[in-house]
Every structure is written in structure tokens, then in C-alpha cells.
Amino acid sequence: MSDAIEIWRALAAEELKGRDPATLERHRPEGVTVKALYTEADLPEAAAQAVPGVAPFTRGIRATMYANRPWTIRQYAGFSTAEASNAFYRRNLAAGQKGLSVAFDLATHRGYDSDHPRVAGDVGKAGVAIDSVEDMKILFDRIPLDEMSVSMTMNGAVIPVLAMFIVAGEEQGVSREKLSGTIQNDVLKEFMVRNTYIYPPEPSMSIVADIIGETARTMPRFNSISISGYHMQEAGATLAQELAYTLADGIDYVRAALDSGLDIDAFAPRLSFFFCIGMDFFMEVAKLRAARTLWAEIMLGLGAQDDRSCMLRTHCQTSGVSLTGQDPYNNVVRTTVEAMAAVLGGTQSLHTNAFDEAMALPSETSARIARNTQLILQHESGVSDVVDPLGGSYYVESLTAALVAEARIAIDEIEAMGGMTRAIADGLPKRRIEEAATRRQARVDRVEDVIVGVNRYRLDDEAPVEILSIDNAKVRKAQIAKLAAVRASRDEQRCAEALSRLERVAREGSVAGNLLDVAVDAARARATLGEISAVMEAVFGRHEARVELVAGIYAKAYAGHPEFDLLERRIQDYAHEHAGPPHVLMAKMGQDGHDRGAKVVASAFADLGFRMTSSALFETPAEIATRAIEEDVDVIGVSSLAAGHRTLVPLLIGALAEAGRNDIRVVCGGVIPECDHAFLREAGVAEIFGPGTNVLEAAASVMGHVEGLRRNR
């Protein structure tokens, strides 16, 4: 083999006109160096002996994998009302989808009923609104819950949502022991990246343990937790970070369950995972293989005796952040590549994103293409014919081993801090992910990472894409009417007594009972989601995150770049002339906690020299306006990723106008479809920056508005 490698090196050097073939190596953000050539010498010793279905399950958790049974097509969907989502589900199931994955709106995630004043712009926009058992019953109308596996992405309001699902099953004639599916129930990652938490970390972990315990006791077919790395990668984490932090979360959940008195083999076989699959094809395949390898090792170390406890079962979803608003039909190709990586990595179920999700919720057409992507892979590609077709690949096996090693380092760091809960309190994982996200944005802006149709090969003119639009006001009005009907028809005394029992269990802990168990009684009595959440909030409190910016990373990436230097000097000159730099307030309004874009942009603007202030999460337009006026900012940058801008931005501009501060400019960025641009500009928005906008270009545009404002004062 050594002779053959030397021959290759000589040939490669000739083709490279004398350059060392080592110059072809690529350095990935994960800390892994990818060589141009892999051979038998790169194959880890253990790889030759590994077989599917045998610990550590590197090659798959089942001996026959897809050769016997293909992965489950489980599309993630939910929008508007329960009625609209139910109709959508039934059409998809009739067209070949095999499982349901429910997307809830942000009001539901955050534990608010649809009539709460803080959720005016959120009801029904990014998922389905669920206020009571009646909504849950409608959601699954004519969908037999004893036959259908249901996954629910829910963490903050996990207690009332799961309780209402159980009651909806009961009233459909399906007892809880027959229910199958998964509740995400992964709150730790919410504190790191997604921010749809309600309560502080400690009581949130007790909720997780209560759900694990109750489902282990009464719901043998139901997965009590889906430990999610998906939102970490979406927030900018490297694949090694996503892998390590997800497994570290899992360790803390297992320990919480053990501390509550549960036997590890009684609950561990029902744990599941959820990973994002992005565009680094082979690295994503290796990531899933590394995850299974490490989890088996971890569970054995925690005392598991049953092989099923050591199996990492996972759902995967193609990347949302890889989707582009520019030239969006390219997203069909991206999703196909990512779906193939998930399948070759050995996922148990898969959601494929629709091509228009960088702009809005998927349309009927885009959802069909996304679903059919999986059907084509299953039935036409041949990938299901062989168990672990990439097993034994020099490259894939080497990548798997490299990711195992990188993840072990990060997990050990978390363990040395006392586990993930304490690491989150310190802020370390969040900082690391935000740093990675900022570095990634700088690489894209500098065209070091090519995004076809965005920073290279752009279209001069793009045809408009038809998108799904939700009438938020109409949906909210309908939900408020249903809430009123539920409250008018229920037995108020029975409801009050059930909520009182829930409050006592929340206050006294496990000695008084199990939170999920008593919440089921409250749901039966038609207590609403907001009422159940409020009772627990009164005991536990509501968590408020610290907003911190990453400093220096964007500037370092742009060191010596003429455009960066020119804009930096322009801001410095302005600061000298006006006794201070231009002041920008970066705002998040409504219940949209997705703050990756806002933080990346704010960090980059700060590195350029802007004075940056970031609002707290979940503020109202009136609160943002008041803060902007008090701090006398020049510009408010509104980040919108959950379609609330049509409702919230006009309210913000109206509040500024009412206070006589029309001079404060409002700019918007995020997932804002082209069809909304005219509406926002008419409302008074000065600039709109969609996904893929170069940050330097955005900063120059904002600076132009600031200079214009000063000239006109």
C-alpha cells in the first residue's frame, strides 16, 4: 500500500504543477482535517469487526435496517387552526406519509392562551394553536391514535400539551398505554438556542423527570423525550458541537431520571434523539454513526444492562438554515442531498423541508415535493436494499472516528463543569455556538463558503414564488371564540379544584404526586393550556435569559478587508462628528425566540463600531418603542423568523409615531417573503433584509439611513 500511495503522491504533485498534495486538505469547523485521499491505512481497527444491530451500533441499531423496513416518513407540520392542520394531516397520510409530527405555534410553546395580550402576532403563524382539549381533539379527528405514531415538538408547555393529548386519546376511545409517538421534552437545548422555555432550568428538569417517570409507568409505547441537537445546528453549532452537546443533554436527563428513583432500563429504551442534517454530506453521515457509538458507551457507563437502553434511536430533519430565499428552487436539491445523508447515516424517521420554508410555511405543492423526495429515495434509488451501504468506507469510517474523538473532548469539558445544566447556567455552550455562528456568517459573506444563488451564481431577476400566508387576526379571533365556549361550558368548580391540586404538586414536589398525572385531570376538567401553565409559573417563576453578544470574531475574519475597513472608518468619522457612534436597537418581538440571526448581525455591527443594544426576548411593540425612545436610538432592527412582522411591525411604528419619534428608523430582517415587502414599506419600514443578505451590505445601508437622518435634523 505504501508504494501505491507514493505513486499517487507523485501523480498528484504532477497534476498540481509541483504543489504538495497536502495543499488539497480541507479544515472543517468541527476541528477535523479532511484529506484528499483515504486508504485502508485510515480505517479504524474496530470498523472491520462492526456489524449492524450489535453494540455499539455504529452501523445501525437493527440488524436488517431498511432492507427489512424503511425509515418512517414523518413530516413536521402544523399551522393556523386545529381544523386546518387536521385536514392537511389527513391529505398527507392519504398520500403516503406514515407518521405525524406536530408543529405548535409560539403562543402554545410559551404557555399562553390565544387571548393573551403578549401573543397578538403569534397565534397560528408558525404552527397550530392549541388552547384546550377541544383543539387537541379536532387536531386528531378521524386519525386513529391507537394506529398512528405522533411526534410533538414541545418543551415549554410540555405538561399541558401532553396531558391534552392523553385526554384526546381517551375521548377517542384510546387508553394511554396504546398511544405511540414522542414528546420532545428537551428543555436544556431551549436555554442554549431555541428559547421556547417557560420556567427556570431547575423546575424544568423536574418536569422532564416527571414525564419520564409517568410515561415509563403508564405509556409503554411512547417515547418520553426526544433529545434534540437540531436547533443547535440551526443556531450555528458545528456538527461536533451539535453531537457533543446533544449527548451531554442526554446524560443530564438520564441522571435526573435516576435521581428520581427510576431504574435505567425501565425508561432508557424509550429515549430518542433528534438531529439536524445539513449540507456537509459525509460529515453528516459520520455524525449519526458517531452518535450511536458514543451513546452506547455513555449508557454502559451509567449502568445500563439492557442492549435496548444503549441504542440511540433518532429522528432527523433536513436543515432549515441551509434553505435560501434567493433562487429557492435550489432548495429542492439541497433537501435531497441532506435526506440522502440522513438515510445513509441510519436514521429511524425523517422530515424533509419544503423548498419555500426560507420564506414562509410550506404550500401544498412544496409539501408534496418534500414528502415525495423521501418516497423517491425509498422506492427508486436502491438505498434501502443494503444495510449500511457506506460501512467500510475509508473516508466515512475515518470521519466517524474523528467525530467521536472531537465529541468526547467537548463532553468531557461539560462533565468537568458538573454536567450540562450547570454548563448552561455558566453560558458556555451558548457562547461556543454563537461564536461558531458568527464565524460561519463571516465565511459566507467573504464567499469562503459558497451558497449557490446567494453569494455566487445569483439570478438577476427572480420569479415570485407562491407561498402560504396565514391571516393571524382571523385565526386569533376564531381561537378566542373557542376559548370562550370552553370556559362557558365547563364545570368551574371541578376545573378550579383540579388546578388547585396541580398547584400543590408543583409546590410540594414528588411527595405530593406527579405533575403530568394531575395535569391530565386538569385537562379533563377543561382547564386551558394557559391556565395550567400559569399555575406552574406562579410556583416556579418564568425564566428570563441574559442577552450577550460575541465580540471580535467578525472583525478578525474581516481583518484587512477593504470594504470592512472603509465602513469602520465611516462609522468612526460619524462618531467623531456627532459625539458618539450610531445607535441601533436590535429587537425581538412577540414569542419568537429564534435569535441566531439577530445576534450574529448585532455582533458584526458592534465589531464595525455601531453602538448596539439588544432587547430582551419576547417584548411587545410598545415595550420596544419605549426602550428605543428612552435610549434615543437612531435605528431599530427588527428580527422576524416566525411571520409575526405583519402584525407587530406596524404596531411598533405606530407606537413611535404616537410618541412623536418618527425620526427613529425601523429596518427588518429575517424570514420575510417578497410579497410582504410592499406592505411593510407602506407601514413605514425603511429597509428589509432577507435571508442570505451580506452583513456588510446591510450595515452600509443602515449607516446611510443614519447619515440621512442626521442631515435632516
Active centre residues (catalytic):
76, 230-231, 588, 592, 594
Radius of gyration of the CA atoms of the chain, in A? 26
Q: What is the DSSP letter of 192?
A: I
Cβ(387)–Cβ(60) below 8 Å: yes
Cα–Cα distance for residue pair 279/147, rounded to 1 Å? 34
**What residues form DSSP beta bridges with 74?**
99
Q: What is the DSSP letter of 457?
A: S
Sheet of strand 225-228, all strands in order from the earlier edge strand to the far edge: 222-223, 181-183, 150-152, 99-102, 72-77, 349-351, 314-318, 271-277, 225-228
**What residues form DSSP beta bridges with 667?**
637, 687
For Cα atoms 138, 168, 512, give the angle at the middle one, nearest 5 degrees: 140
Query: From the CB of residue 56, how many other CB atoms can be counted at a distance below 10 Å?
Result: 21
Cβ(231)–Cβ(196) below 8 Å: no
For Cα atoms 699, 703, 709, give the angle at the middle one, nearest 5 degrees: 150
Q: What is the DSSP letter of 193?
A: I
CB neighbour list of residue 72: distance below 8 Å, 6 or more residues apart: 98, 99, 149, 348, 349, 350
CB neighbour list of residue 623: distance below 8 Å, 6 or more residues apart: 615
CB neighbour list of residue 142: distance below 8 Å, 6 or more residues apart: 86, 90
Buried-exposed string 567-605: b where 16+ CB fall within 10 A, e elsewhere: bbebbeebeeeeeebbbbbbbbbbbbbbbbbbbbbbbbb
- At 161 the three-state DSSP class reads helix
Cα–Cα distance for residue pair 377/531, rounded to 1 Å? 45
Query: From the CB of residue 566, how many other CB atoms can be counted at a distance below 10 Å?
Result: 12
Cα–Cα separations (whole angstroms), residue 550 to 31, 422, 432: 20, 21, 9
3-state helix, strand, coil split of the chain in percent (to 5) is 55, 10, 35
**What residues form DSSP beta bridges with 314?**
273
Cβ(107)–Cβ(504) below 8 Å: no
Of 348, 368, 366, 347, the C-alpha closest to 357 is 366
Of 188, 230, 195, 211, the C-alpha closest to 271 is 211
Asked whether the CA dihedral 226, 232, 234, 238 is positive or negative, the reply is negative
Cα–Cα distance for residue pair 713/709, rounded to 1 Å? 6
172, three cell numbers: 377517542
Residues in the chain: 713
- Residue 275, Cα to own-chain centre: how many angstroms? 10
